[in-house]
Structure 1
């Protein structure tokens, strides 16, 4: 069965779906999940050792998945935290309040304390006191004399309770972000598969552009493809067309695609195995030739992308990247994309480099082999109808870079 010739059957888009599962057309990569798990725990504990902390308290669903491969109701957890993880430098990794039936690689599971108003209501202060007791008891159990604890995204009442027990509390965010920045061979394989799934969906989106099709319907094809391949969610519904493509960051609506429209999208996709695919393309819809201005905008965005990609190599500093970046013409600066590059892994990650006209680089760091980054461009002038969004995802290698995204650009707009 040829991937190019398969399309949704007219009498059953889902029930008789013969196209969405990418495994029909190409083998999944060979991923050693036990090795992947050991690598991620090792990275976290090495970062903890460097920060001289006894333990981390992890709350973000993405960080918990990175640490112990636990993935239950992640979007719910992101705004109503219920589950949390005790990750000690030495000792048993303990998952609290885990959902029954969902596996993890934690050493053990225990009940937990309320961490949100939804769970604790007016008893949050008492829950925080008991939570602090749990931390002190855990440190005693593992024989830790170090009283320094790193905590991720929690209520001030929890931090206050820990301080009242004589513990030193620091942010865990920089520890986990630093741990996640260098990807293993297995992580890279996961990300390649996520990109392949996204591009499988993009191809169907492009085929589906036609009379009467809405932005939301197009976006739904990408979302469905991700779910059909056991992927997660999209950080936003970043698809806009016609007059809604400028300015950027407008999410998909029920607007019907019209001839002559530019259609731009950004996948922002948590794909299979929890790894991200973050690429953007802009297509032209219609039988007539794109306008000279549409082609000019596309060429600008394409040139920005290609120029900045060529800067990517290990050892280059974030400040050098900013200073050497493609010079965005003045007319596009007010609506230029918020960053030139950013890291990516299980979501958008450190580092991030903004264009110089958006401010200085926030940290003194360099690119390293094993990072995965995205290079971005948005070109659209204030008050105009059209704009162009493009983005590539790539791996920083020992001698430069390797593209992870391979979807073709629109040749009619590059003409």
Structure 2
């Protein structure tokens, strides 16, 4: 594993080096999908999720819109063959890619596109899907699919197709990052850091939460980023409980301000960093410092124990023990995978294990976000922290140098 700070995530590369990295990443990701198909003895997968399509083919077309409107889809075969049904007049998004692709026009049968003809359109869609599948995988019946509406599912099953959960297959494929992916992740993180620096520089009483949040969007778009998945920025009493999205609330001297970037940046990779700051030039109160101390301890203790080979349950059992007054408002997970977006796994707190936990094992090459939220039930403020890391043979290595408020400790 490379040194992810000096030679990997965060390194400056030439145009020629970057082109080679992108080619290598493209080949690696397609190979990961093929490996999963072979492991499941499945000849092909049909992809609708725009993030999965991006992972497998490195094509992007109106990602957020396509997430709501299933208007492009791709079938990837275990032998590497790709058949892509592209949105209207958008074949150009495939230009310059060294892929064996057969391009066709997409058929959309959502109510928006088809109205009361949706079922008939779905049958036309299904006939073509079955024809392509049987052409390139003769005699096969098992097809993995990551997302599909009821009409489509019913048609394929009627035609004798057995459907496999393709989302599980793709999440597993996306689990282990190559050294080239770490470089691309680093470019996204450097963009997020620029946005965070800009937010910090502009932070002052009298601005609104929306004013501050806009600076992250500005730097993301300016540097070739794509979108931000949430609006998780809150100040003052809106920091407790967590999950308030940013608003027109005016920042006041002495407020805590907390945020979670959830930023899909350059190359389609997510930068997921949470920090909590003080508004104004004063010093944090004793309560604010104590909340921060707990959150900082939780993140760094859990980073210190996180190792490849550890099971998810073992990590949950050994994790930092949240003081009783903060358990009710705990964050929804201890840690989660990260790549193009939040990814498998999501590690449940031990108190939630029976209801939400599942086991697995941490591996070298996984990228993970270690989480903390500390805010007392019925309290008026809270602290949110999150650090993005990669697992190496030696343990857990931070992928960002974004500062913590260590002078509060």
- Confirm or deny a common fold (TM above 0.5): yes
Counterparts of 2:106 and 2:229 in 1: how far apart (Å)? 28
Q: Quote the residue 1:57 is aligned against.
A: 46
Instruction: Give yes or no for the alignment of 1:144 onto 2:144.
Output: no
Q: Quote the residue 2:4 is aligned against.
A: none
Show the 5 A alignment for 1:73-152: 73-90=62-79, 92-98=81-87, 99-103=90-94, 105=97, 107-152=101-146
Counterparts of 2:28 and 2:359 in 1: how far apart (Å)? 26
Pick the aligned partner of 1:302 from 296, 302, 315: 296
Counterparts of 1:257 and 1:411 in 2: how far apart (Å)? 23
Please tell me whether the aligned partners of residues 338 and 358 of structure 1 are also in contact (alpha carbons under 8 angstroms): no
| DSSP-derived class of the 1:223 partner | helix
Counterparts of 1:317 and 1:284 in 2: how far apart (Å)? 37
Aligned residues: CA RMSD? 1.6
Counterparts of 2:406 and 2:29 in 1: how far apart (Å)? 41
- CA deviation string 1:329-351 (max 9, x = no partner): 11111111000010000000001
Pick the aligned partner of 1:365 from 360, 369, 379: 360
Pick the aligned partner of 2:238 from 236, 241, 244: 244
Q: Quote the residue 1:34 is aligned against.
A: 23
- CA deviation string 1:48-100 (max 9, x = no partner): 11111121110011011111111111111111110000111236301102324
| DSSP-derived class of the 1:102 partner | helix
Counterparts of 2:338 and 2:83 in 1: how far apart (Å)? 27
Please tell me whether the aligned partners of residues 115 and 155 of structure 1 are also in contact (alpha carbons under 8 angstroms): no
Instruction: Give yes or no for the alignment of 1:290 onto 2:284.
Output: yes
Q: Quote the residue 1:346 is aligned against.
A: 340
Count of matched residue positions in the alignment of Structure 1 and Structure 2: 390
Gap change, CA 1:91 and 1:199, over 3 Å in 2? closer
Gap change, CA 1:143 and 1:350, over 3 Å in 2? closer
Runs ≥4 in structure 1, deviation > 4 angstroms? none
Please tell me whether the aligned partners of residues 290 and 412 of structure 1 are also in contact (alpha carbons under 8 angstroms): no
The Cα of 1:222 is off from its aligned counterpart by 0.6
Counterparts of 1:362 and 1:148 in 2: how far apart (Å)? 29
Please tell me whether the aligned partners of residues 34 and 80 of structure 2 are also in contact (alpha carbons under 8 angstroms): no
Instruction: Give yes or no for the alignment of 1:263 onto 2:252.
Output: no
**What TM-score do you get using the length of structure 2 for normalisation?**
0.92
Q: Quote the residue 2:200 is aligned against.
A: 206
Please tell me whether the aligned partners of residues 139 and 145 of structure 1 are also in contact (alpha carbons under 8 angstroms): no
Any stretches of 5+ residues in structure 2 without a counterpart? Answer: 1-9
Counterparts of 2:186 and 2:134 in 1: how far apart (Å)? 43
- CA deviation string 1:369-410 (max 9, x = no partner): 000000000000122111000000000001212110211112
Instruction: Give yes or no for the alignment of 1:68 onto 2:57.
Output: yes
- CA deviation string 1:271-300 (max 9, x = no partner): 100001101000112333211111000000
